[in-house]
Amino acid sequence: MSVLSDTYLNGIIELLTKIQDEETDALEKGAMIIADAIEKGNRIFGFGCTHSSLPIQDLVYRAGGLILVNPIFGPGIDSLDVRPAKMTSDFERLEGYAKVLLDNYPIQEGDVLILVSVSGRNAVPVEMAKIASERGIKIIGITSYEYTKNVESRHPSGKKMYEFADVVLDNKVPKGDAMVEAEGFPVKFTPASGVTSNALLHSLMTVVIEILLKRGVEPPITIAANVDGSGEHNDRLWKEYGDRIFYL
């Protein structure tokens, strides 16, 4: 194996170990919020800009995952199909955009919003968290404390996304996200947040499922479409939870 690849993988393992050692309480608190919402008939939503949208998308209609996670997609920042791609960085800084999204999605008081922003500094995720909090929506934020606490906010409030969250999950990545250094080369490379944010969110959902099972509640889990019998199982869930699923 290459030396730098080994460095990266060892660094990822170290971050995942830190998450395992340090995020247990936050995972439990976040999972309790989601489990309570599911039992009460409330809905679950998720949002992130561009690359921070990817961990959310990995929860949606996912084999082995909860069927109830609804993505909030913002045109221009929900993926990287915009040309030129650098426009997405400008869109993330637009004030007022988050309000437009929240006003046009069926998210309401008592619902849960999972919000991913690694730096937590740009106007859209900050505004999304602020307005959602004001509307009585529970917020579970995924960010990097090391990153967000070492950059300035780009929102007029001067605050970061995590400051409006009910529960914060720290994905542990360094400022700038990149993990690897090479002698004589001034720029760090190879990001970590895609791995650690995904691991955090799937861990969160695992705890939610565990809580529901302990309460005697059947967790609505999607079975992979390529597994025999999955169609009948999943169709039953669509019907039972159809009033809380908006991505079909």
Cα 177 to Cα 54: distance, rounded to the nearest angstrom: 15
What SS3 class is residue 247?
coil
The model's pLDDT over 46-90, given as tens digits with 9 standing for 90+, comes to 999 999 999 999 999 999 999 999 999 998 888 778 788 887 888
Two tokens at 38? 């599911």
Containing 10, the helix (H) or strand (E) segment is helix 3-22
Our CA dihedral for 90, 95, 96, 99, rounded to 10 degrees, sits at 90
* Phi, psi angle pair for 46, to nearest 5°: -140, 145
Task: Give pLDDT tens digits for 73-85.
Answer: 998 888 778 788 8
pLDDT of residue 196: 98
Whether the CB-CB separation of 121 and 160 falls below 8 Å is answered with: yes
Q: What are phi and psi of 180, to 5 degrees?
A: -110, 145
Residue 137 has pLDDT above 70, yes or no: yes
- How far does Cα 41 stand from its chain's mean position? 21
Q: At what angle do helices 193-214 and 24-40 cross, to 10 degrees?
A: 50
Structure confidence by residue, pLDDT tens digits, 23-54: 999 999 999 999 999 999 999 999 999 999 99
- Secondary structure class of 170 (helix, strand, coil): strand
Q: What pLDDT is attached to residue 81?
A: 80
Is residue 162 pLDDT above 70, yes or no? yes
Distance CA 142, CA 173 (A): 11
Q: Residue 174: exposed, middle, or buried by beta-carbon count in 10 A (0-12, 13-18, 19+)?
A: middle
What token pair was written down for 135? 């509307």
* Distance, first Cα to last Cα, the chain: 43
